[in-house]
Every structure is written in structure tokens, then in C-alpha cells.
Structure 1
Amino acid sequence: MTANSTPASGRYRVAVAGASGRMGRMLIEAIHNSDDCVLAGALDVPGSPALGIDATAFLGRASGVPITSDLREGLARAQVLIDFTRPEGTLAHLEACKELGVKLVIGTTGFSDEQKKTLAEGAEKVAVLLAPNMSVGVNVTLKLLEMAAKALSTGYDIEIVEAHHRHKVDAPSGTALKMGEVIADALGRDLNECAVYERYGHTGARDPSSIGFATVRGGDIVGDHTVLFAGTGERIEITHKSSSRETYAQGSLRAVRFLADKPQGMFDMFDVLGLR
């Protein structure tokens, strides 16, 4: 059986990168509790104190899958790798996945344009699903934002406010940027040209074509996003709030199932949810 083939048991063999982290553990628990997925590999960085430990030990159960930093070992039995790590780590995983024929579900954020190009080139060899947020609710929210932006294309100022926990290292969040991209595309604008990420001092009047971003970091906030359409005499706010990473894990498993019959290509959660 090759890595890309569906197991005879009908269960998808899934490996998890960043296995000892908060998101990694949530993914492993979701896979463990799933009826159609099985944990096939668990990866972590060299030097991690979790190396060698059974990946489901934190659940008080044994999976027979040790956490390893050896990519070939961790991906040897996998059909799909779920990766919520850092851009550099994800790109290293991509190279191993291309070699071994393992598909990729990527929730990592903070990619540069050049790194996104590398991912797209990798998708010519193996199926890659890239989404800054795997939550079903967030992706439905993105569709609502597209509709709202088209209807409120004139006379409304657009601001995006996001809040996350103190440990998040990139800003604005990948989800906030995706919201900006969806809105800008709906308005026929280029986000790179109309985004405003900082305001300080005497800024002058607001450019009506701009899309503003504000970032909050603190505590254990899982993820809050609000898009404000501020007009004359009224304001429309579209908000999504995450209270648990479980929604990201369940969305990731939906992505795994979607990729089952996809040999190569670049996809996102709109493809998974039929929101095109």
C-alpha cells in the first residue's frame, strides 16, 4: 500500500506535525475519537522533550505511535499530514511529503508570498489544502463577508479587528488577512495596496478605499474576529468568536476526507464546504 492509497480498513491514516503542542494534541484527540481516521504518525522538532513518548499518552491511552523528529519515520505510514506549525517547518514537511506521496492539510499562518508560491509548486505533485482557519464557521463567515462587501461597496468604511492569546507570534492573524483578501477581491481592490496596519500620531482623514486592521494580544483568547462596515447612520458588524480549538480540529478532519480522492492540486476550505 502506498501512502496515497486509502487503507483497506477505510480509515484515513493521518500524521500530525507539532504533536506535543496545544493544537497538535487537539488534533490527535480528534483523530483518536474519529470513526474514520487513525493516527499514523506524530512529528515534533528535534530536542523536544516529547520525543519518544506515545502520542496519545496525554489521553491516558496508548496508540503505538511514538512522537519523532524523523520525517521519514513519522510519515512512513501516513496518507495525509496535518500541519499547524511555522512556515519554515511546513515547507520542510512539504519536501518530505512530495517525496513520499503524502497529502498536506496546512493550517500554518504567516507565509510570505514567496513561500506561498513554493506551496503552490508543491501542490503540482501532491494534494495540498491551505487555509488560515479550518473552522467551518469562519469559512461561512468569509462567504458572508464577500456578500456584504459587494452590497456595501460604497459609503462604508471597513475595519477588521482580531484578538488572540498572548503566545501568537504573527499579526495580523492569518484569518484576519484572509478576511481582508476576500473583501478586497469582492471590491476589485488589491489588499497589498489598500491595507492599513498601523495608525499613530497625526494620520489625516481616513482614505475611503482603505481596509484597516487592529490587533489585540492577551490571555488565552482562542480567536475573535470582527469586521466592521461603518456607514453614515449605521454600522454592520460581522463577528466570529472561537471558544475552543476543537472547531479547527474537526474542520481539519473534514479537509482530510476531502483530499482522499485528490492526487494533486491546491485547495482551501471553500472547496471542502462547497462555497465557491
Structure 2
Amino acid sequence: MARIGIIGSEGRMGHALARAIEGAGHEVAGGVDKGGDVARLADKSDALVDFSAPAALEANLHAAIGAGIPILIGTTGLEERHFRAIDDAARCVPILQTGNTSLGVNLLSHLVREAASKLGDDWDIEIVEMHHRMKVDAPSGTAKLLGEAAAEGRGIDLADNSESGRDGHTGARARGAIGFAALRGGTVAGEHSVIFAGEEERITLAHSAENRMIFARGAITAAAWLIGKPGGRYAMADVLGL
């Protein structure tokens, strides 16, 4: 049984994580939110799970390092400076940062990478995602994860080959580009489709989240898996053995 601390405990995801921890037979070590003492939480935890906000990331990393425990980061909307901070902290403690903790989505990412590696750039790749009306960032972390998987499969850099926010007279689609479209509305937990559009045929790989508990269960599976691992950056693919 592991003691798992929740950063962002009062949000919807925080409550789902608490249920997932108990459902997996582990113990909720406690929880903190904005202004809370994350270092104290880390001292009584075997692992931390962070679904809070980008502004809190550095303090959360420092708390994990101070306690010498792993941290799973599911916070979205991270910027380059956040990823640099994660890389620095991973020299000391095991860290898993992901845009999506669903085991199904991460298997989808693996399939997208494989498909992109087999199909040439005459197959256009479009990633379409939909989330609830309250989501504040776009494209979603999961869409970016899938885009990175497609880019890796093709051996290209996503930043140099992505298209999004099309509006007006945009001109023809660039060959080899990876496109993104974000839809928002209702209470959708998360839907993602990766479309490979070729000449007179299409392949669609998709995942639908029916409840945020799938993310919570995946996060707790991964956090427990991290316990006892050496310092370093890990991915959900490692948890799945892919």
C-alpha cells in the first residue's frame, strides 16, 4: 500500500484521484491546493500526483526533491521553461509528466506513432479534440501528445510542421503538416481522433473518455509504479511496457 499525496485536491480531478487511490487499495496521504504546504505533504507521502496549475510546478518539484519521492505531473498548459525545470528535477527524483494519464490514450499514442512511421507524407495527419466548455487551454495536452507521437513516427519536429487555428483564406495545406482542431462545449470529458487522410482512403484512430476517472486510475497506476524507481524522466509508455 502506497501513501499518495494529491496536489490540487479540491478540484474535480483531485476528488477523482482520491477515489482512485482508495479504489486501488492505497492511502490518501493528504492534499493541498493554492497556498498549501506542499513540502509538508511530500514529507508524509510515498509519491505525489500533481494536477494543479503551471504556476505551482516549480514549488511542487522542489517539494518532491526535498522529500526524495517521485512525482507524477498531469498539469496541462506547461511551457518550455516548465519542461526545463522538470528535466533538472529528474536528475534527483523519478518524474512522469504527461498530457494524459489514460492507459487507453497512451496505447493510442503508440498506435499513432506506428502508423505515422509506416505511411508517407502524402498521408495528411489531422488531430481533432473536443473537451468541456470550461477547459482553458487548446490544443489539449493529449492532442499535443498525439501530435508528438505522429511527428516522432515521421522523424520530424512537431513545432516546425504543425498547423492550427485555420481561418479565412489560408492557402493549400502544407505537405507533411500535422493539423490540429479544438472543439469546446458541454461536459465532454475528452474525445480525440487522429485522421490519416490519403488518396481516396482514410484511417481514423480514436479514443473517447466517458468519465475523468479513467485519468485518475491511470495516474494512480503510474504514481505507484514510480515508487522505488531511480531519478529520471519516465513516460506512460514505460508503465505500459511499450
What is the TM-score with the length of structure 1 in the denominator? 0.85
- Offset, 1:151: 1.7
Greater CA radius of gyration, 1 or 2? Answer: 1
1:42 to 19, 25, 31: 31
Q: Find the partner of 2:162 among 165, 182, 195.
A: 195
Q: Which amino acid aligns with 2:222?
A: A
Given the alignment, which residue of 126, 129, 141 partners 2:96? Answer: 129
Higher relative contact order (CA 8 A, sep 6+): 2
Indicate conservation of the 8 Å contact 2:113/2:150, yes or no: yes
Q: Distance in 2 between matches of 1:155 and 1:72?
A: 51
Post-superposition shift, 1:131?
A: 1.2
In the alignment, does 2:23 pair up with 1:28? no
**Aligned partners of 1:141 and 1:168: how far apart in 2?**
22
> 1:257 aligned to 2:224?
yes
Is contact 2:122-2:176 (8 Å) kept? no
Give distance in 2, aligned partners of 1:148 and 1:34.
34
CA distance, structure 2, for counterparts of residue 153 and residue 118 of structure 1? 35
Does residue 269 in structure 1 map to residue 236 in structure 2?
A: yes
Aligned to 2:214: 247
The match for 1:231 is 198
The code of the aligned residue for 1:102 comes to I
Q: Report the number of matched residues.
A: 242
Contact 1:41 1:75 in 2 (8 A): no
Residue aligned with 1:205, SS: coil
CA contact (8 A) 2:7 2:38 kept: no
Q: Match for 1:172 among 128, 139, 142?
A: 139
- Please report how far the alpha carbon of residue 70 of structure 1 lies from its aligned counterpart in structure 2 after TM superposition: 1.6
CA shift, 1:102, in A, is 2.4
Is contact 2:95-2:234 (8 Å) kept? yes
Matched, 1:14 2:4: yes
Q: Is the 8 A contact 2:92 2:231 kept in 1?
A: yes
Contact kept, 8 Å, 1:83 with 1:104, in 2: the verdict is: yes
Asked whether the 8 Å contact 2:33–2:52 carries over to 1, the reply is: no
User: What's the offset of the Cα at 1:188?
Assistant: 1.4
Deviation at 1:113, TM superposition (A): 1.6
| Candidates 110, 113, 120, aligned match of 1:153 | 120
1:33 Cα offset (Å): 2.2
CA apart distance, 1:236? 0.8
Distance in 2 of aligned mates of 1:233 and 1:207: 18
**Runs of 4+ residues over 4 Å off in structure 1:** none
Aligned equivalents of 1:168, 1:191: Cα separation in 2: 23
Distance in 1 between residues matched to 2:155 and 2:118, nearest whole Å: 13
Asked if 2 retains the 8 angstrom alpha-carbon contact of 1:31 and 1:39, the reply is: yes
Match of 1:52 in 2: none
For 2:186 and 2:198, the matched residues in 1 are separated by 32
Aligned partner of 2:172 among 205, 214, 236: 205
Q: TM-score, normalised by structure 2?
A: 0.97
In structure 1, distance between residues paired with 2:229 and 2:111: 27
Gaps of 5+ in 2: none
**1: CA distance, partners of 2:42 / 2:164:** 39
CA deviation after TM superposition for structure 1 residue 220, in Å: 0.7
Offset of residue 155 of structure 1: 2.1
